[in-house]
Amino acid sequence: MKKSLILLLTILLTFSAFGRATLYIYSWAGYVPEEIIRDFEKKFNCRVIYDTYASNEEMYAKIKAGKGKGYDVIFPSGDHVSIMIKEGLLQKIDHSKIPNFKYLDKEILNKTTFDPKHEYSVPYMMGATVVVVNKKYVKNYEKSWSIFERKDLKGKMTLLDDMREVLGAALKYLGYSVNTRNLKELEEAKKVVLRWKENILKFDSSSYADGVVTGEYWVVHGYAEDVYQRIPKGEEKNFDFFIPKEGGTLWIDSMVIPKGAANVDLAHKFINFILDPKNAARIADYLGLPSPNVEARKYMKTKPIYSFEDLLKCELIEDLGEFLEVYNRIWQEIIM
């Protein structure tokens, strides 16, 4: 009985899928709101399959192994966009099919050094690496990287276990570029991080979000949305997310179409749909982040965790190629 039911269901689903085109999306879990996807399905009479990954590395390994086949739209971060371009995994975007592109903020577009002319990628969301403070335990603080110099918070703070993020923070604190190739500046940054290291509990990339929410840690360096999702309802006011006044590191996630995409036309329609100001506003509200879509800001109902202006102080982490070795060595000297 049950078996035949499942069979029937399968047949039905197959038939319905026949009639409609299917768009395969590969993205972070919960990154695109469900209602946006449902609206898109309705509007274009198609079906969307939303598959998820937990890290750019995971996504990259899968796409690389499949030579860019299997998905129509992917959401890589900046550095991985440039890697995928170099590896020849992406196809060019047909801008004539994306009229809504014009709504994107020029300031953001200027920052996409990984694909300056947007031949291969269209920005989806951007954000900064932030400092999160649990205000139940820490009342007075300055919104600056100098918080990590505070001896009174010794053993209650964590920094990301990520050399580009941490060195980037120190470089910004000193007023340098997060992508500096100047050895003297890097040595100075190293000294700063070594000072911070005295005060932090550990370098933590895996459990800081949980830690700050439960009060295990009081001040953490990390990604706002990671922490934001874990805060229990009604406790939002206990947490402060700030981009230090000196600025920090910026990330931009873009939408790309891989070489092997099966439904290129629908993929373009989807990207254009996302850039529709009303949709973009809903997405930004949902994520708690500022929208890169200028027109969308008029429609937003919530105040983002941090403002768009704050983001402009931040700098995108760029691929340094061979120079990364130097960063590696310095990081090694810090953590050993």
Binding positions for another protein, 153-192, rule CB under 8 A? 155-156, 161-163
Q: Strands, DSSP E only, in 19-104?
A: 21-28, 46-53, 73-74
Rounded to a whole number of angstroms, the minimum distance from the CB of residue 206 to another protein is: 6
Decide if residue 221 touches another protein (CB under 8 A). no
Select from 2-10, 100-108, 230-238, 317-325 the region that touches another protein (CB under 8 A). 317-325
The residue count of the chain comes to 336
Q: Which is nearer to another protein, 95 or 190 (CB)?
A: 190
Decide if residue 90 touches another protein (CB under 8 A). no
Joined tokens for residue 36? 């946006």
Cα-to-chain-centroid distance, residue 128: 8
Q: Which is nearer to another protein, 138 or 264 (CB)?
A: 138
Q: How many residues bind another protein (CB under 8 A)?
A: 32
DSSP assignment string, 278-293: HHHHHHHHHHTS--SB
What is the rounded distance in angstroms from the CA atom of residue 310 to the CA atom of residue 279? 23
Helix segments in 159-263, DSSP class H: 163-173, 183-199, 208-214, 224-228
Q: Contacting another protein (CB under 8 A), which of 87, 240, 265, 318?
A: 87
Cβ atoms of 104 and 290 within 8 Å: the answer is no
Phi-psi region of 135 (alpha: psi -120 to 50; beta: other; left: phi over 0): alpha
Select from 25-33, 199-207, 262-270, 276-284 the region that touches another protein (CB under 8 A). 199-207
Build a one-symbol-per-residue string for 56-75: x at contacts with another protein by CB under 8 A, - elsewhere. Answer: -x--x---------------
Q: Contacting another protein (CB under 8 A), which of 29, 43, 49, 55?
A: 55
Cα-to-chain-centroid distance, residue 285: 15
What is the rounded distance in angstroms from the CA atom of residue 173 to the CA atom of residue 164? 14
Joined tokens for residue 8? 């029937």
Element (H, E) at 51: strand 46-53
Decide if residue 203 touches another protein (CB under 8 A). yes
Q: Contacting another protein (CB under 8 A), which of 166, 169, 171, 201?
A: 201
Element (H, E) at 65: helix 56-65
Joined tokens for residue 62? 């899968």
Rounded to a whole number of angstroms, the minimum distance from the CB of residue 200 to another protein is: 7
Rounded to a whole number of angstroms, the minimum distance from the CB of residue 144 to another protein is: 22
Q: Contacting another protein (CB under 8 A), which of 215, 278, 298, 309?
A: 215
Decide if residue 216 touches another protein (CB under 8 A). yes
Instruction: Give the binding site for another protein (CB under 8 A).
Output: 55, 57, 60, 83, 86-87, 155-156, 161-163, 197, 200-204, 206-207, 210, 214-217, 319, 321-322, 324, 328, 332, 335-336
